[in-house]
Structure 1
Amino acid sequence: MVAATMFWILLSCASTLYFVLMCMKRGVFGARLRGKSPERKSLRGPLSLPLIGSMYKLGSPEGPFAVFTDLSHKYGQIFEMQLGVSKCVIVSSYALIKEVLITKGGHFGGRPDFLRFHHLFGGDRNNSLALCDWSDLQRKRRSIARSFCSPRGGSSQQEEISRVAVDEIAQMFEYLEDPRNAEILAGERPVKPIVLAAVANMFTKYMCSTRFDYYQDEEFKHVTRAFDDIFWDINQGYAVDFLPWLKVFYSGHLTRLSDWANDIRGFILRRIIEPRRASLDLDTEIPRDFTDALLFHLQSTQSELSWQHILFELEDFLGGHSAVGNLVMMVLANAVIHPEIQTRIQEECDAVIRGKLERGVEVGSLMVSPRDKPQLPYTESVIWETLRVSSSPIVPHVATCDTDISGYPVAKDTMVFLNNYSLNLGEEYWGADARQFKPERFLKREEGETVDRVSRPDFFMPFSTGKRTCIGQKLVQGFAFVTVTMLLAKYNVSAPPTVDVTKSIQSSCLALPPDCFNLIFTKRKLPVSS
């Protein structure tokens, strides 16, 4: 017995000595003595349960991104979570988000493989520019769109955006003031479908040289509603995104997504692409619009584009009108919630109108225009503040290779959430009043200057940044500015006594429910020259 005990003692000592020698050989002790760990950084995160991971943490009325922000106070500005079948990393600081989007943008070019995304784009989310994984084909598709969707200031496309927007607002005013639509102005019928239709026509007129009738075209009304349903849905989170085995319980929902998308696709093909293809002049080298540019590339013998590519690309960009329409409605909601903000916008508009009248300019019903933007800094700042407080989340990215973020290892296929909520509402970025609606935070006046100008900090990135930045952001900004400014210049906006607009506003979401609040529009008196 004693001999056996001594044997195990000697064996243990020999093992310990071998371990020490190996550690010395590898420099482990030396590294620790120098204050350096030989191990790579490891991420912390909440407890993961079988099957659901840490999804139990996300049940908050403020939404998952508010939860991410709270968890970052415990686990740091970068931490990990297992959400169902998906390994996720959440980054919540400007420096880390910039590393993901810019410094290492090539490592994080993927998108989540959610079932909903596939149902929206013909069974393959890579048909979508926004929801696809990055590839040479997607780079080519973006390059075709860039001159039309991200035009340079002073370019013909920029001028066309302004002209189209102003013309369409004139059509919208004519529609609203028709006696048949008095109930809309009185707040007895919803205005959102009209705002969406007007903005949709801005997109189709600019991109396709086509507009549709508010009154008679029932298919157009149906399609704008379908786009809005999809915009609302895509801004929500569902358990099936992370627990795909729940698909059987979401079959009806997924079918509705496919039906909406198919209706939209059929409309674009029959009402826009096919008529344009029949009249396409291949002898000219100058496209009339974005639709022509896509068709020219399709006809080229060197093109990689197929019919599917151009159909889905046009659908992607036309769908941008839903974001603009919802943004406009959100600005109007804030103008109702904060009447002093509405008053200040109108004072700014009135000053522009008086200046025109004094110069002998006939303003008519279109009292302000995009050319007046430099004189309307407060109005522009209200739009930026609306985007800030809504904190609409950036679409998650996915690691396309084994990489790291600030030295923390991130495995291929890991989903990365960029916590825009923390960036947009964090006191470390915006001060103690970060949660207040305060448009003047975007106004700046340098010493010696007599007027305010709009200034946006680098850490404010409502359209993301890097190679996957929103390519249509200039369309969003241009069309939203014109619609908001002209509506508030012409009307006082209020809510019916029984309507609480705040109930429709969801934290961390720019989208409003398709059926949200009604508003009352009371015509204002035209300012007179001083």
Structure 2
Amino acid sequence: YRTHSVSHTKATEDTASITVALLLLTLLLMILKAHKSHRYPFQLHHCSQLDYMKYPPPPGPTPWPLVGNLLQMGDQIHLSFTCLRQQYGDVFKMRLGSLTVVVLSGYTTIRQALVRQGEAFAGRPDLFTFSAVANGTSMTFSEKYGPAWMLHKKLCKNALRSFSQTEPRGSGATCLLEEHVCAEAAEMVEVIRGQAVKGKLKQENGPDVAGIDPVMPIVTSVANVVCALCFGKRYDYNDKEFLTIVHINNEVLRIFAAGNLADFFPVFRYFPSPSLRKMVQHIRRMNTFMETSIEEHINTFDKNCIRDITDALIALCEDREENKDASMLSNSQVIHTVIDIFGAGFDTIIAGLQWSLLYLIKFPDIQERIHQEIDDHIGTGRLPRFSDKPEMPFTEAFIYEVFRHASYVPFTIPHCTTRNITLNGYLIPKDTCVFINQYQVNHDIDLWGDPDTFRPERFLGSSGLLSKELTEKVLIFGMGKRRCLGDGFARLEMFIFLTTLLHGLQIQNVPGQELDLSTDFGLTMKPRPYRITISSRF
């Protein structure tokens, strides 16, 4: 037994020694690579020496060996990049581990890159997380820019348009989208009323926390809209399948926002990653749910009765021989298109509504002005509709100011250059990862004058109408070829949820509650927890 134990111990020590040696060798190789990358910060094989003589690479902070500039960024990356812009300008480079990144700031520069030179900046970087999540089939995350991607985008736009034009089933709404959103917004108001009554009863029967937490009513209502759009199905708020879908989506976004070392240090691709493994498991569960739902849709499909976006996609792909565009869209791409739409319509709206309520209780005079606009235009006899939006400029201005001031989507999903390109006199080689700093644009003092002040009136011209010249400078849905396809839907949904809530309720701060407008960095930045009290207006 002792001999076996000694042999086992020696074998363990040998294995450990080999492992340490391999790690040290890997570390040495990475340091050498980092040193080389510092001397030649871009992929030189993509650019000729003449290119570098004519156009310099972008400036940027000196990277450290191995880690690059990772340790210089802090935990509020959007703020760090905004500060670096003051030193290095609108185009500067960073090295995150072994990944060289170019950061773009400034509205004019970003517009030049994403709109005027849109094709050159329309790629997606080959990040390990992207490939692990979607395996190249997601239009949003991992599909390379080119003819196939453009056809995928065209089909997705056509499906969204087809669904938005589908007539509702006798509700008085103009389309199915309006029917779903208006019904769910009204339901959310009733859920909040119910929570307030329960909270009041608890306080009367004993000490309890004052007010209500608005997060769950918002999450479940928005999730139900997305489920209705994607699957043609509304869930009870306590339905297990529904809660599982919401949980999976939240977990994927949470893990995704935390980042993955393998994106910055390729060697970590070969090491176990519990967070990445968990995210892939969640994605597989979501895929299974989507596959089951799509199979049910295929079996019950009727081209004369489009129930949801999945039906609209199936209609486009049903006869792939006649529809040459659809013939290039695989079943896996259909599934991921629905997943992309689900994710896009979920977190952005939820965060926007959470921020909106926080600003409404922090600035009650602004809430009063929205109430007045609702009373003047809508009155008490009906609920808000899509057609009310152009007639309520102050409410729209408030929504744009929430987008701008909270700037809760600080960066777009990373872009990638599709060819060698010059921008602001700097050479950016093909396949360079590009970050778009939306937060900086939304807080640019040269654009807004007083960017730290929450002031919806800034978007209203002298006539009291919304200024398109200013609203188009608010960045939250991206810009150019990779702009979010559902941004118009998102603004309509925000408008209906907000106005329906304020049509029936007045929202107040809980006495003594300090309101904190700070946040933690993430894909979408949520406000810190807060509670509200409500009172009925009618």
Instruction: Please tell me the TM-score bracket, short chain as reference.
Output: 0.7 to 0.9
Shift of 1:520: 2.6
In structure 2, the residue matched to 1:292 is 311
Question: For each residue in 1:153-204, what CA deviation from the matched residue of structure 2 results, as whole angstroms up to 9, or x when unmatched?
Answer: 9886973322221112233334444479724998666432221221222223
Deviates more, 1:131-140 or 1:490-499: 490-499
Q: Please tell me whether residue 224 in structure 1 is matched to residue 246 in structure 2.
A: yes
Asked if 1:477 is matched to 2:491, the reply is yes
Q: Which amino acid aligns with 1:490?
A: G
Q: Does 1:349 align with 2:412?
A: no
Q: Sort the Cα spacing of 1:147 and 1:183 in 2 relative to 1 into closer, same or farther, 3 A.
A: farther
Tell me which residue corresponds to 1:135. Answer: 146
How far apart, in 2, do the equivalents of 1:405 and 1:459 lie?
20
Cα–Cα, structure 1 residues 290 and 353, in superposed 2: closer, same or farther, change >3 Å? closer
3-state DSSP of counterpart to 2:79: helix
- Paired with 1:96 and 1:113, the residues of 2 have a C-alpha distance of 24
* Whole-Å separation in 1 of the counterparts to 2:224 and 2:389: 22
159-168 or 307-316: which moved more?
159-168
Alpha-carbon contact 2:163-2:308 (below 8 Å) kept: no
Q: Structure 1 residues 259 and 504, CA, compared in 2 at 3 Å: closer, same or farther?
A: farther
- For 1:78, the equivalent position in structure 2 comes to 91
Q: Give the CA deviation at 1:388.
A: 0.9
Counting only pairs closer than 5 Å after superposition, residues 403-442 of structure 1 correspond to structure 2 as 403-431=421-449, 433-442=450-459
How far, CA to CA, are the matches of 2:272 and 2:365 in structure 1?
45
| Aligned pairs for 1:331-370 within 5 A | 331-354=356-379, 362-363=381-382, 366=383, 368-370=384-386
Deviation at 1:81, TM superposition (A): 1.7
Task: Report if the CA contact (8 A) 2:159-2:309 is conserved.
Answer: yes
Q: Any idea what the Cα deviations from partners look like across 1:1-28, whole Å, max 9, x if unmatched?
A: xxxxxxxxxxxxxxxxxxxxxxxxxxxx
Q: Aligned-pair distance for 1:287?
A: 4.1
Alignment of 1:221-300 (within 5 A): 221-237=243-259, 239-246=261-268, 251-270=273-292, 272-281=293-302, 284=303, 287-300=306-319
Which residue is equivalent to 1:193? 216
User: Which residue identity lines up with residue 222 of structure 2 in the other structure?
Assistant: V
Cα offsets for 1:452-503 (capped at 9, x unmatched): 3353424333212211111010111111111111112222223445755526
Asked if the contact 1:501–1:517 (Cα under 8 Å) also holds between the matched residues in 2, the reply is no
User: CA deviation digits over 1:293-324, x for unaligned, max 9?
Assistant: 22234432331222211111111102222211
Contact 1:65–1:508, Cα closer than 8 Å, also in 2: no
Matched, 1:50 2:75: no
Secondary structure, counterpart of 2:366 in structure 1: helix
3-state secondary structure, aligned to 1:416? strand
Q: Can you list the C-alpha shifts for 1:329-382, whole angstroms capped at 9, x where unaligned?
A: 11111112222222222222222344xx5xxxx33xx3x332222332111111
Describe the shift of the 1:341–1:263 C-alpha distance in structure 2 as closer, same or farther (beyond 3 A).
farther
C-alpha distance in 1 between matches for 2:442 and 2:229: 32
Q: Is contact 2:386-2:496 (8 Å) kept?
A: yes
C-alpha contact 1:42 1:409 (8 A) present in aligned 2: yes
* Residue in structure 2 matched with residue 213 of structure 1 by the alignment: 236
Which of 493, 503, 513 pairs up with 1:489? 503
User: 1:67, 1:405 → 2: CA distance?
Assistant: 22
Q: Provide the residue aligned with 1:202 in structure 2.
A: 225
TM-score by length of 1: 0.79
Measure the CA separation in 1 of the matches of 2:200 and 2:185.
Answer: 16
Counterpart Cα distance in 1 of 2:196 and 2:210: 14
| Partners of 2:107 and 2:473 within 8 A in 1 | yes
Q: Is the 8 A contact 2:57 2:428 kept in 1?
A: no
**SS of 2:63 mapped into structure 1:** coil
1:169 matched to 2:185: yes
CA spacing shift, 1:160–1:301, aligned 2, 3 Å:
closer
- Please report the TM-score for the alignment, with normalisation by the length of structure 2: 0.78
Paired with 2:116 and 2:534, the residues of 1 have a C-alpha distance of: 50
Q: Is the 8 A contact 1:348 1:376 kept in 2?
A: yes
SS in 2 for 1:523: strand
Matched residue, 2:536: 524
1:459 aligned residue: 473
Q: Distance in 1 between matches of 2:211 and 2:288?
A: 33
Cα distance between partner residues in 1 of 2:423 and 2:397: 33
In structure 2, distance between residues paired with 1:70 and 1:395: 21
Q: Distance in 2 between matches of 1:247 and 1:501?
A: 42
Separation in 1 of the partners of 2:241 and 2:300? 23
Tell me how far 1:248 sits from its aligned partner.
7.1
Equivalent position amino acid for 2:417 in 1: A
Deviations 1:62-106 (A, max 9, x none): x22222222222222212222211112122222221222122221
Q: Aligned residue pairs: how many?
A: 466
Q: CA 1:147/1:295 → structure 2, altered by over 3 Å: closer, same or farther? A: closer
Supply the distance in 2 between the matched residues of 1:42 and 1:192 (Cα, whole angstroms).
46
8 Å Cα contact 2:139-2:336 kept in structure 1 = yes
**Which residue identity is paired with 1:315?**
I
Q: 1:295 to 1:340 in 2, by over 3 A?
A: same
In structure 2, C-alpha distance between the alignment counterparts of 1:135 and 1:460, rounded to whole Å: 28
1:236 is displaced (CA, Å) by 4.7
Partner of 1:29: none
Q: Which runs of 5+ in 2 are unaligned?
A: 1-51, 169-173, 202-208, 322-326
Query: Does structure 1 retain, via aligned residues, the 8 Å contact 2:401–2:454?
Result: yes
Task: Tell me the CA shift for residue 436 of structure 1.
Answer: 1.2
* Identity %, equivalent residues: 26
| 2:387 equivalent in structure 1 | 371
RMSD (Å), alpha carbons? 3.0
Q: Which runs of 5+ in 1 are unaligned?
A: 1-36
Q: Highest CA radius of gyration, 1 or 2?
A: 1
Tell me which residue corresponds to 1:6: none
